[in-house]
């Protein structure tokens, strides 16, 4: 008997194996893709608060910009729309009685209209809410809490009648751990006799609760420049404390459309001062709001800035 060697499989067997393998691969791919929705948001699951980290080497930067250039400089501010990047802010009520304590409740929903429940911790909080009247008065920096169903709530008093703007500033965490920073804006109203106040003239120094706050720097449209803030008390430089993980928080709102910029500072003080790197997206007048903390109390210094 001669050795015939191992028998070769016939062609029909090979074709059958290829078909079965292709079906298994298709099922596996379909399962994996089905775990992600169109925008990668995680919904319908317990709340996850992941720590937000920027890539190594990223300098202090604007947060809340809707569009950025290849160099990372903002070309448009955020907060101009209720929907962006596949997410929508949905307030459960928008009318408040002027001067009366109320409760603002809202959800962030994904492209399938499902409440989002997974957010990263950014500056010690998963949600930063900025509220201001459309004449740029009545500024408030609030931190809502979220229920299991994705509904955020926070006590809110709109001190004066008028139209108000609320900015939800947050970072969504996707299934794969990717983080998407978004700033969405929605209007609130306090019915009554609305008498808008004129915006104060530009200044680089102001006082608040006995502290003198001033800044140095000349912002230019489309260019990132440093703004350095100094806070002085009766005896000289104030002993600044970290608030929400930083020595200061700076929000800039553009007059007219109320475009929003939230600017992160350098991690340490520079000669006892707070240094930010600000990119203004275009010319116009901006209102700056600097939050700082001394003796466990947070105060806000306000400035008007004109960018030529």
165 with 121, same domain? yes
Q: What are the CB-based long-range contacts (under 8 Å, 24+) for 244-249?
A: 244/123, 244/124, 244/125, 245/123, 245/124, 246/123, 247/274, 247/292, 248/274, 248/276, 248/290, 248/291, 248/292, 249/123, 249/141, 249/290, 249/291
Q: Which one-letter DSSP state was computed for residue 200? A: P
184 with 235, same domain? no
pLDDT grade for 39, boundaries at 50, 70 and 90: very low
Give the end of a domain, one of 164, 190, 216.
190
Total residues found in the chain within this entry: 308
Q: What is the pLDDT of residues 90-114, one digit of tens each?
A: 999 999 999 999 999 999 999 999 9
Whether 283 has a pLDDT exceeding 60, the answer reads: yes
Over the chain, what is the mean pLDDT? 83
Mean pLDDT, range 68-96, rounded to an integer = 80
Give the end of a domain, one of 160, 190, 220.
190
Give the end of a domain, one of 190, 217, 239.
190
CATH number of the domain bearing residue 219:
2.60.40.10
Confirm whether 221 is domain-assigned.
Answer: yes
CATH number of the domain bearing residue 149:
2.60.40.1930
pLDDT, position 10: 53
pTM above 0.85, yes or no: no
For residue 142, what are the domain limits?
Answer: 83-190
> Who has greater pLDDT, 26 or 306?
306
Q: What is the pLDDT of residues 28-37, one digit of tens each?
A: 334 333 333 3
pLDDT, position 264: 86
147 with 209, same domain? no
Number of domains in the chain: 2
Q: What is the pLDDT of residues 141-194, one digit of tens each?
A: 999 999 999 999 999 999 999 999 999 999 999 989 999 999 999 999 999 999
298 with 215, same domain? yes
């Amino acid at each position: 008997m001669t050795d015939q060697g191992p028998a070769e499989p016939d062609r029909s067997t090979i074709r059958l194996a290829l078909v079965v393998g292709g079906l298994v691969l298709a099922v596996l791919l379909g399962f994996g893709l089905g775990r992600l929705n169109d925008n990668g948001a995680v919904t319908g699951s317990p709340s996850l608060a992941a720590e937000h980290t920027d890539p190594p080497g990223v300098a202090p930067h604007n947060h809340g910009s809707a569009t950025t250039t290849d160099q990372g400089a903002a070309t448009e501010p955020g907060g101009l729309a209720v929907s962006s990047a596949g997410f929508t802010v949905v307030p459960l009520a928008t009318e408040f009685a002027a001067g009366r304590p109320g409760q603002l409740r809202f959800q962030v929903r994904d492209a399938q209209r499902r409440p989002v429940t997974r957010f990263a911790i950014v500056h010690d909080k998963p949600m930063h809410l900025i509220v201001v009247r459309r004449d740029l008065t009545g500024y408030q920096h609030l931190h809502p809490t979220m229920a299991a169903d994705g509904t955020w709530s926070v006590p809110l008093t709109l001190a004066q009648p008028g139209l108000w703007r609320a900015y939800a500033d947050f970072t969504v965490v996707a299934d794969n751990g990717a983080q998407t920073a978004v700033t969405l804006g929605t209007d609130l109203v306090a019915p009554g006799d609305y008498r808008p106040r004129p915006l104060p003239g530009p200044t680089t120094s102001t006082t608040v609760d006995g502290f003198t706050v001033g800044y140095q720097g000349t912002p230019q449209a489309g260019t990132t420049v440093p703004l350095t803030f100094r806070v002085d008390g009766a005896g000289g430089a104030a002993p600044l404390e970290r608030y929400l993980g930083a020595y200061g928080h700076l929000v800039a709102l553009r007059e007219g459309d109320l475009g929003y910029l939230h600017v992160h500072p350098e991690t340490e003080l520079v000669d006892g001062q707070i240094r930010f790197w600000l990119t203004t997206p275009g010319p116009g007048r901006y209102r700056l709001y600097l939050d700082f903390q001394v003796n466990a109390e947070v105060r806000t210094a306000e400035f008007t800035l004109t960018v030529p």
